[in-house]
Structure 1
C-alpha cells in the first residue's frame, strides 16, 4: 500500500481545477519549455524573411497561430493543473519534442514540407486534445469543462487530416475551420463556468508568461538585425549607422511595450483573460514581421518600397494592439486618467503610421530607419511627458494638502 501511494505521489496526477488558486512563481520547467518555442518562432520568422510577400505573410500568420495555440494550451495546462510530479515533466517533454519536430520540417522541399508540417501539427493537435481530456480521468468534475475542447480539437484534427488528400483550393476553407475550432473552446467553457457560478481570471504567473514570450519575439528582432548586417556588403560607415538605427528602433519598441504593460495587472474575469490572449496575437505577429523586415532591409543596400510599407504597417499594428491591451488592464487609481490618454495616443500613433505607410516616398535604408526612429522617439517623449506631468501634479497636490 505504501509503495502504491509513493508511486502515485511520484507520478503526480493533474492538480484539481480551482479558479481561486493562489499566486505562484513561474517554474524553471516552464522557462525551459519556452526555449523550444524560441527555435520554432525563429524558424518561421526566417522563412518569412525569404518570402516577404502576401503569400509569405499568410503562411507566417497560419504557422504562428498554430505555434501560439500550442504554447498557450501547454502553458495554461501547467498553470491550472501542473505540479512537481513526473507526469507533468513528461507531458512538457512530449510537447517540446513535437515543436522541435515542427521546426525541422520547415527545411523540407515544398511538397514534402506541407505534408510533414501537417502531420507534425496533427500530432500536436492530438497531444493537446489528450492533455485536456486526460484531466477528466483524474477529476470527474472537470469533464464538463474539457468536453468542448475535446470535441472541437478533434474536428480540427479531422480537417487537418482531410487536407492531406484534397487539392490546395480546399485549404482556404479547411485552414479557417482548424483555427476557429482551436480558438473557440474557451468561449464555450466560459458558459459552463457561468452556469456553475465560477469565474476564471488570468493569473499573474500566466500574465508573466505572456511577457516572457514577448521577450522571445523581441529577441527575434535583434536576430533579424544581426542576420541582415551579416549579409550586408560592404560593411562600411553607412552600415554602422543602419545597425545603430535598427537596434535603437528595437529598443524603443521594447521600451514602449513593457513600460506600458509591465506595471499593469490584467483585469479580473474570463473576458479580460481571453482578450489579453487574443490581443497578444497581432502584437507578436507584428514583431515577427518587423524581424523579417530587418533582415531584408539591412542585407540590401538599395531602397525597397514594398518592405518599407510592410515594416510600417507592422509598427502600426503593434502600437494599436498595445492601445487595445490597455483596455483590459488596470493601473493604480491615480494613473487612470493618464492611462486613457496613453491608450488614445497609441491609437493615434498607429493611425499615423498607417497613413505614413500609404504615402511614404521611396527612401534609402538609412533615411528610412532614421525617420522611423525619429517618429518613435517623438511618441516616447509624448508618453513620458504625460507620465511626469501626472507625477508633478500629484506632488503639487500633496504639498498643498500638507500646507
Structure 2
C-alpha cells in the first residue's frame, strides 16, 4: 500500500494568522543579492535602454519573490518537504541573480532558464501538494501553471535572440504573466479563479512585503556605506553621505510609520483579502521597491561625484527614484486606508520633486544640491504626513486649521 500524501499546509490560529518562519527569512537572502545586482546593473547601464532592461529584470525578480510569498502563505515551511522545495528554489534563485549583470548579453539563457524553472517548479509543487487536500487550490495552481506555460516560449525565444529582440520577447512574457492575476487566470477547461479562492493570511502577506522593503532599504544602506568607505573624506562627501542616509531613513519612516501598520491591520480584517493582497501588495509594491533601488543608484553617483555639473541621467535617477517611491506609497496607502483621495502629503512631495528636477536641470545644480534637495522633499513629506495623522498641525499650527480640515485626514 502506498503511503498517504503528507499534509503540507499551515494550521492557522483563530485569527487566521500565519507567522513568518526562519526559512522564509533565509530564502529572502537570495533576494538581497538580487537587489544588489539590479542596482549595480542600473549604475553600469544608466541609459534609457539600460533602465528599461533593468526594469524588466526587476519585474521578473519581484514576480518570483511575490509568487513564492503567496505559496508560503499556505504551505507550512516547518515541514521538511517544504523546506527542501524552498532550498531548491534558492539554488535556482542564486543562478538567476548571478545572471542579472549580463542578462542581456552572455547570460540571457541562464537567467531565462532559472526564472522559468523557479516559476513552474513551485507552481507544479503546489498542484501536487493540493491534490486530495484542497481541490479548489489545486485548480487555481493549474490555472497559474497554464499562464506560466504561455509565457515560457517567450522567455526562451528571447534568451536565444539578440539583445533588442530579447527585450521585446521578455516584455511580452512579463505582460502575459502580469495579466494573469489581474484577469483571475482564465484557463481553458477551468474557467477563472474566484476571489474567495484566495484565502490567504493577510497579516502574513503584509509582513512578507514589509520584510522585502527591509531588503531593498538594507541594500541601499550597504551601497551607501560601501561607496563612502572608499572615498576621500571631504566636506562634500560627508554631506552627501549624511543626506543619503537621511533619505533612506526617511523612506523607512514613510513606509513603516503609517502605511505598513494600516495596511497590515486592514488586510487582516478584510473580507476580500485575496483581491486586496493582489492590488496593494502584488502590484502596488512594485514602484515602491523600484523607487528604493533607483534612489540607491542616485546616492552612489552623488557620493562619487558630489560637485560639478549634474547630467540628465543623474537628475532623472535622483528625482525619479523618490517620485516612484512616493507614488507607490501614495497608491498603496490610498487602497489600504479607505480615504476618498490619495494622501495629500504625497501630492505635495511629488510636486516639489518635479520642481527640484526642473530647477536642477535649468539651474545647472551640482549633484550634491540636487540630492540634498530630493532628501529634503522626502523629509518634508514624512513630517507633513506624521503631523497630519497624529494631530500635530492642530497642536502646533492651529492657523493650518482650514487646510487640515480639508486634507489632513488623508495626510
Match of 1:309 in 2: 316
Instruction: Provide, for residues 125-172 of structure 1, a one-character-per-residue CA deviation record: whole Å limited to 9, x for no partner.
Output: 332332333234443443322222111101111211222344444335
Q: Are 1:177 and 2:172 counterparts?
A: yes
Q: Alignment partner of 1:22: what SS?
A: coil
Query: Gapped runs of 5+ residues in structure 1?
Result: 331-335, 394-403
Q: 1:289: which partner in 2?
A: 294
Q: How many residues align?
A: 378
- In the alignment, the residues of structure 1 paired with residue 251 and residue 106 of structure 2 have an alpha-carbon distance, to the nearest angstrom, of 37
Report the Cα offset of residue 98 of structure 1: 0.7
Work out whether 1:343 is the aligned partner of 2:343.
Answer: yes
* Bigger Rg, structure 1 or 2: 1
Q: Kindly tell me: are residues 383 and 65 of structure 1, through their superposed partners in 2, closer, same or farther at Cα, counting changes over 3 Å? A: same
The partner residue of 1:318 within 294, 304, 325 is 325
Task: Tell me if the contact between 1:229 and 1:243 (Cα under 8 Å) persists in the aligned partners.
Answer: yes
Give the corresponding residue for 1:229.
228
Measure the CA separation in 1 of the matches of 2:77 and 2:253: 34
Cα deviation for residue 179 of structure 1 reads 0.8
Equivalent residues in 2 for 1:158-237, closer than 5 Å: 158-186=153-181, 187-189=183-185, 192-194=192-194, 198=197, 200=199, 203-232=202-231, 234-237=232-235
Distance (Å, rounded) in 2 between the aligned partners of 1:166 and 1:109: 12
| CA distance in structure 2 between the partners assigned to 1:313 and 1:369 by the alignment | 11
Say if 1:55 and 1:107 are closer, same or farther in 2 by CA, change over 3 A: closer
Alpha-carbon shift at residue 390 of structure 1 (Å): 6.8
2:372 to 370, 373, 377: 370
Q: Is the 8 A contact 1:26 1:205 kept in 2?
A: yes
DSSP 3-state at the match of 2:107: helix
Equivalent position of 2:407 in the other structure: none
Query: How big is the shift at 1:83?
Result: 4.5
Measured against aligned partners, the alpha-carbon deviations of 1:256-279 in whole angstroms (never above 9, x if no partner) come to 121121320244213321111200
CA contact (8 A) 1:129 1:154 kept: no
The corresponding residue for 1:398 is none
How much does 1:312 deviate? 0.6
**Deviation string, structure 1 residues 83-119 (Cα, Å, up to 9, x no partner):** 4222101111011101111222346696322232223
Mean alpha-carbon deviation: is it higher for 241-250 or for 274-283?
A: 241-250
Cα displacement (A) at 1:245: 1.6
- How many angstroms apart in 1 are the aligned matches of 2:336 and 2:200? 12
1:239 is matched with 237
Distance 1:161 1:381, change over 3 A: closer
Change (3 A) 1:236 1:356: closer
Contact (CA 8 Å) 2:184, 2:194: kept in 1 or not? no
Name the structure 2 match of 1:401: none
| Per-residue deviation, 1:42 | 0.9
Q: Is the 8 A contact 1:101 1:120 kept in 2?
A: yes
Work out whether residues 123 and 144 of structure 2, in 8 Å CA contact, stay in contact via their aligned partners in 1: yes
SS at match of 1:184: helix
Residues 327-364 of structure 1 show CA distances to partners (whole Å, capped at 9, x for unaligned) of 2214xxxxx7xx66771221232133134323423222
Choose the corresponding residue for 1:253, options 251, 254, 264: 251
Residues 63 and 152 (structure 1 numbering): CA distance in 2 closer, same or farther, change over 3 Å?
Answer: same
**Which residue matches 2:36?**
42
> Retained in 2: the 8 A contact 1:13–1:87?
no
Distance 1:251 1:164, change over 3 A: closer
User: By percentage of residues, which structure has more helix?
Assistant: 1
For the 8 Å contact 2:319–2:353, the answer to whether it is kept is yes
Q: CA deviation at 1:34?
A: 1.0
**1:389 correspondence with 2:391:** yes
How do 1:10-159 residues align onto structure 2 when only pairs under 5 Å count?
12-15=6-9, 22-106=16-100, 111-139=105-133, 140-159=135-154
CA contact (8 A) 2:330 2:346 kept: yes
Please state whether the residue corresponding to 2:16 is helix, strand or coil: coil
Counterpart-to-counterpart distance in 2, 1:253 and 1:321:
12
- Change in Cα spacing, 1:113 to 1:260, as seen in structure 2 (3 Å) is same
Shift of 1:313: 1.6
For structure 2, which runs of at least 5 residues remain unmatched after alignment?
Answer: 396-411
Shift of 1:15: 1.9
Q: Quote the RMSD (CA, aligned, Å).
A: 3.0
Contact 1:228 1:297 in 2 (8 A): no
**Could you tell me which of 298, 305, 308 is aligned with 1:300?**
305
Whole-Å separation in 2 of the counterparts to 1:204 and 1:148: 25
